[in-house]
Structure formats: C-alpha cells, structure tokens
C-alpha cells in the first residue's frame, strides 16, 4: 500500500482518487492542493472547507482511482 501510494501521489502518475479506510470511510483527493503526504500519515482537506482529516497510511484499505471527467 505504501508503495502504491507513493506511486499514485506523484506528479507524473497522479489521477484523482479516493482513500477507502479499513473502517469504510472515504476521503477524496481530486487535486494536488487537497492533501499532504508524510511518512506514516496523509492529511486531507475536505472540499472548500477548513475541515481536514488525518489518515494513518496503515489504515488505508483501498485506493480507488476516479474518472477525472466524472462530476463530483
């Protein structure tokens, strides 16, 4: 997962995606300005909000790639 995440969160390979956690919670990352990646955690801001979620990478279950043309 860590490797997949590192691959996905690069400029060259970036596609909008959703973090699906072990709990089933979903966090969408559509643009580069929505998230910060660190070694063990990812911080994701919600769309047009100051609310942010801090996700433990070890708790990420699925990386769901979105269709960029699909409306939000």
Binding residues (CB under 8 A) for another protein: these are 9-11, 14, 31-39, 43-46, 48-52
24 DSSP 8-state letter: S
Strands (DSSP E) found in 1-72: 17-21, 26-29, 35-37, 41-45, 52-56, 60-65
User: Closest approach of Cβ 32 to another protein, in Å?
Assistant: 5
User: Closest approach of Cβ 23 to another protein, in Å?
Assistant: 22
User: Closest approach of Cβ 19 to another protein, in Å?
Assistant: 13
Q: Which is nearer to another protein, 28 or 37 (CB)?
A: 37
Name every residue whose Cβ is closer than 8 Å to that of residue 54 and which is 6 or more positions away in sequence: 41, 42, 43
């Amino acid at each position: 997962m860590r490797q997949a995440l590192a691959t996905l969160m690069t400029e060259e390979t970036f596609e909008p995606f959703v973090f699906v956690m072990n709990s089933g919670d979903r966090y969408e990352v559509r643009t580069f300005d929505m998230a910060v990646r660190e070694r063990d955690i990812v911080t994701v801001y919600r769309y047009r909000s100051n609310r942010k979620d801090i996700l433990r990478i070890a708790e990420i279950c699925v990386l769901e790639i979105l269709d960029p043309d699909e409306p939000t």
